[in-house]
Amino acid sequence: MIEKVRMKNWKSHHETEIDFTKGVNALIGTMGSGKSSVMEAAVFGLFGTTPAHNSREVTLDDLIRRTPSEAKEAEIEVDFRLGEDNYSVKRKIVRGKGTDRSELRKEGELIEAPSTREVTEQVEKLIGLDFKSFTRAIYSEQNSLDLFLNMRPGERKERIDELLKIDRFEDARKTVVKVENNLKKELKTKQEELGKLDQEIDEGKVSELEEEIEELEDQKEQLQEKLEKLDKDIEEMAEKKEEMEEKRQQSKKLEKKETKLETRKEDLEERLEEIEQKLSSFENPEKQLEAKKEQKEEMEQRKQKIQELNQKKEFKQKQIEKLEQKKEELEQQVEKFEKLEDVEEELDKKTKKLEKAKKKGNKIYADRKNLEESLEKLKDTDGDCPTCGQKMDEEHRKEELETRQKLIAEMKKKEKKLKRKVQNLDEEKADLEEEKEDLLEYKNSEEKLEEKEQDLKDMSEALEEINDKVEMLEEQFSKEQLEQLEEQIETLELVEEVDELEQKKEHVLEKLEQCRQQLEEIEFNEEELKQLREKISELKEERSGKKQKFNSHEELMEEKKKRLEVMEKEMEKKQDLEQQVSRLDSVLDYVHEYKTGLKKTQVELRETFVKQLNSLMDDIWSQIYPYDDYYSLRLNAEEDYLVEVLDSENNWISAEAEVSGGERHSAALVMRLALTYTLSPKIELLMLDEPTHNMDSSAVEELAETLRKNSGDLLDQMFLVTHDPALEAAVTGKLYQLEKKNTETGLTEVEEVE
């Protein structure tokens, strides 16, 4: 069992150490994450090479890390256990030199070093396999789980013979000894199994079961006949019941219809009587109706004319209101225009004041500037005072400067005051100019006012004319008279409804008569329907009891058939075991006759190996394959090692062409496990790299479930390398997630998943 793999500068691994346990261990990650590199490292640690290196696809330098910087050397160390002994093999690769050193230790003590070849030979002796046998029987590279299944039968035979090395005399002799021991062990097992079957099988019980099954079959047929008769009776009664229920529905429907028609007839008669009473006060109502309608039409025309004139009247009144409003506006405008002369006079005054203020301000500004210039000169003057002519000293200079500074400050105040005055005058002038412009707009208002006064006069006369017409029409129109006419017309119009009501009444009477005739024609008996329902219920209850009894007989018969089938299979198995024991005795005799020659020995060894492999595959198949459509798997030695499965009809069919993908994967896994058992009894382990290639999701789930449940019974240790998270379900040992998180360095990071 491999317990630990340490990698330093191995491919994408910088410094990685991974522990493994018994059961199914898994390395999961995306493509290129460095999963397969771990298994390659384990193989390299044991044998000093890898499949890719052995086939010269890569060099040893290619196995040394190159990113993010090129490493000069790599180290691999593998810890494994055989029985109670612990071993460790370590190998070192130097770029450009190859394997620099190899060493093998037992319980920490060095037992072989530094030769790579000698260390490899010691490892091969310990585990009983060389590199080629290990990689073909134990280590399944990427997508190569079904390697043996995909070979042609002849090629498969050559490969297995090569694995067995029966093509070499000495190896053949050793293999014969091993096979002889295995045959003795198998013979003992078969004899023990045969003795157990002799005790368990009671051939008399088989005949008894057959008789019981036949009796149950007869009873089942009788029950079936009774069930069929009951079904027929129930069906006939159901048809009669359906017919009676249909009549019942028709009867109910007609009774409901009769009630509605009776109600309708009474309503029509009441309405006719009501109309007759209302028309009794009128003589010749048809002629009166026509005359009243003409009177109503004349009254409505007058009413319509009054409404139209009132609308015109309302419109004229609104126009008069608008004209009066406009007249008032124009009167105000005329009054404003009369103020234009006053505004122009005030504007002229403001303009003159503004010019005067600007001139005064300009003069003060010029005087201030001159005074400021003299002030600057006075600061630098050393001679006589320019104002009084006296000798200029500091005190006199200071007095003059203060005097002039005060004058300048007063001038600035005056300037500021004049500036505000000019600004105010500007604003007042602008307001007056704007007012003048507004007043000029009212220049034609007087003429417009005269026009509006004339329009108002004309509109008032038109309104007066409309009022006269309305007054005249209102004298000829009476609202009360119109309402009275409408009431009379409404009553007289009932005469038109009488004929229609009489026709409806006649139609209702006809339908009522038809309905009563149909009710008489329907022959329906409620009590008879009730009795029929009760009879059907009794028959159904009787049928349910017989059906339950029928099903019970059927289940019992199926159970007995299964027991009979099991017993027959056991008898067949006994016969097969007797044949196998007989054959095993013959084979053992044949093995002891080794002098018959190497050729016969090689043939016999091959047949014996196939038998042993098939026996192992038969045992493993029942544990791996979960369904009942195929019972066993074998290599057909007579057909160049054709791989076959035993179907439910006890026929051997090709597993290479006639079964589905999931069943092929099961066959490939069983063959791998059987080869592992046969070729590596010292180290019971299996390495599967991407075993789910071309599997659908359901097949992957079944494989995971199978490995999780059965791997512990099949071998000590298994390794799964996969990108498929579904295989996490198969893990019973250690589970690791591998990924390259940093794309710049390209280094693999390993995380154990709890």
pLDDT digits (tens, 9 = 90+) for 627-658: 888 889 898 877 777 888 898 889 988 887 77
Q: What is the average pLDDT across 308-327?
A: 71
- H runs (alpha helix) in 338-393: 340-380
Alpha-carbon gap, residue 19 to 5, rounded angstroms: 7
**What is the pLDDT averaged over residues 590-604?**
64
Q: Note the pLDDT tens digit of each residue in 352-390.
A: 887 887 888 888 888 888 887 877 777 766 666 666 666
Q: Say which residue, 435 or 266, is predicted with more confidence.
A: 266
CA distance 79 to 6: 9
Long-range contacts of 486-493, Cβ-Cβ distance < 8 Å, separation of 24 or more? 486/296, 488/288, 488/292, 489/289, 489/292, 489/293, 489/296, 491/278, 491/279, 491/282, 492/279, 492/282, 492/285, 492/288, 492/289, 492/292, 493/289
- Which pLDDT tens digit goes with each residue over 618-628? 888 887 777 88
**If you average pLDDT over every residue of the chain, what do you get?**
80
Least confident of 419-433, 488-502, 614-628, 667-681: 488-502
- Read off the pLDDT of residues 436-492 as tens digits, 9 standing for 90 and up: 665 555 555 556 556 666 666 777 777 777 777 767 766 666 666 666 666 666 666
| pLDDT class of 493 with cuts at 50, 70, 90 | low
What's the pLDDT tens digit per position in 562-580? Answer: 877 877 787 788 888 888 8
* DSSP strand pairing (85-94 vs 73-82): antiparallel
pLDDT band (50, 70, 90) for residue 416: confident
Region 344-350 average pLDDT: 72
Sheet of strand 685-689, all strands in order from the earlier edge strand to the far edge? 139-140, 685-689, 717-722, 23-28, 735-739, 749-752
410 or 5: which leads in pLDDT? 5
Residue 621 identity (one-letter amino acid): W
Residue 598: pLDDT above 70? no
Cβ atoms 149, 655 nearer than 8 A: yes
Neighbouring residues of 183: CB distance < 8 A, sequence distance ≥ 6: 584, 587, 588, 591, 608, 612
Q: Report whether pLDDT(15) > 90.
A: yes
pLDDT 10s digits, 447-459:
655 666 666 677 7
3-state secondary structure 276-295: HHHHCCCCCHHHHHHHHHHH
CB 405 within 8 A of CB 293: no
Q: Is the pLDDT of residue 183 over 80?
A: no
| Residues 190, 573: Cα–Cα separation, whole Å | 11
The tally of CA atoms less than 13 A away on the side-chain side of residue 380 is 4
Burial zone of 653 (CB within 10 Å; 0-12 exposed, 13-18 middle, 19+ buried)? middle
Residue 338, pLDDT > 60, answer no
Minimum mean pLDDT range among 14-23, 160-169, 235-244, 541-550: 160-169
How many beta carbons lie within 10 A of that of residue 560, not counting itself?
16
Helix residue ranges per DSSP H, 381-444: 394-440
Largest CA distance in the chain: 170
Q: Residue 744: helix, strand or coil by DSSP?
A: coil
Residue with tokens 């602008």: 430
pLDDT of residue 608: 80
Residue listed under structure tokens 């449940």: 709
Q: What confidence category does residue 264 fall into, taking pLDDT thresholds of 50, 70 and 90?
A: confident
Mean pLDDT of 415-442: 71
pLDDT, position 43: 96
Instruction: With cut-offs at 50, 70 and 90, classify the pLDDT of residue 557.
Output: confident
The answer to whether the CB of 37 falls within 8 A of the CB of 748 is yes
Please give the share of the chain, as a percent, with pLDDT higher than 70: 79
**241 with 536: CB under 8 angstroms?**
yes
- Are residues 16 and 37 in contact, defined by beta-carbon separation less than 8 angstroms? no
Element (H, E) at 4: strand 2-10
Six-digit token string for 81: 């256990």
Summarised one tens digit per residue, pLDDT across range 206-249 is 777 777 778 878 888 887 888 888 888 888 888 887 877 777 78
Query: For residue 595, how far is the Cα from the chain centroid?
Result: 73
Overall pTM surpassing 0.85 (yes/no): no
Predicted pLDDT at 170? 47
Q: What is the pLDDT of residues 538-548, one digit of tens each?
A: 888 878 888 88
State how far the Cα of 734 lies from the Cα of 27, in Å rounded to an integer.
9
Average pLDDT over residues 293-309: 71
Nearest Cα neighbor of 40 from 719, 726, 743 is 719
